[in-house]
Amino acid sequence: MRKLNRLLLASVLSVCPLITLAADEAPSAEPDVTIRQDGDRFIQEYRVNGFLYAVKITPKHGKPYFLVRADGTSAQFIRSDQPDMLIPQWEIFSW
C-alpha cells in the first residue's frame, strides 16, 4: 500500500509542470488593443493572437468608425458602416 501511494504521488508531481505549461500557452479570448495617435485622430488596433481583425478610428471632429477585414482573412479592409466602400491600399512609390 505504501508503494502504491508513493507511485501515485510521483505520477501526480510529474504531471503538474505539464499542466502549468499548457495553461500558459492557451490562446486568450480577450483582444490586444493598441492605441496610438496619428495627427488629430486616435487609432485603436484590435488583435487576437497577433491577427489584426479590426481598427477603430476616432477623428477629432466627427464620429468614430470601424474598419474590419472584408472577408475575414485578406488584407483588404472595409468600413463597418459602409460595407460597399473598399479602402484603397495602393503602393505609389517604393525604393
pLDDT of 11: 61
Specify the higher pLDDT residue, 38 or 86. 38
| Residue located via cell numbers 480577450 | 30
pLDDT of 69: 81
**Residues 27, 38: contact at Cβ < 8 Å?**
no
Specify the higher pLDDT residue, 87 or 94. 94
- Say if residue 68's pLDDT is above 80: yes
**Residues 65, 77: contact at Cβ < 8 Å?**
no
Give the whole-angstrom CA distance, residue 1 versus residue 8. 11
Per-residue pLDDT tens digits for 5-35: 565 556 666 655 656 555 555 666 788 999 9
pLDDT of 59: 92
Beta strands across the sheet bearing 41-48: 32-38, 41-48, 51-59, 65-69, 77-79
pLDDT of 77: 77
**Stated pTM of the model:** 0.56
For 28, counting Cβ atoms within 10 Å of its Cβ (0-12 exposed, 13-18 middle, 19+ buried), the class is exposed
Structural domains of the chain sorted by starting position, each given as residue range(s) with its CATH number in brackets = 32-79 (2.20.130.30)
Q: How many CA atoms lie within 13 A of 36 on its CB side?
A: 6
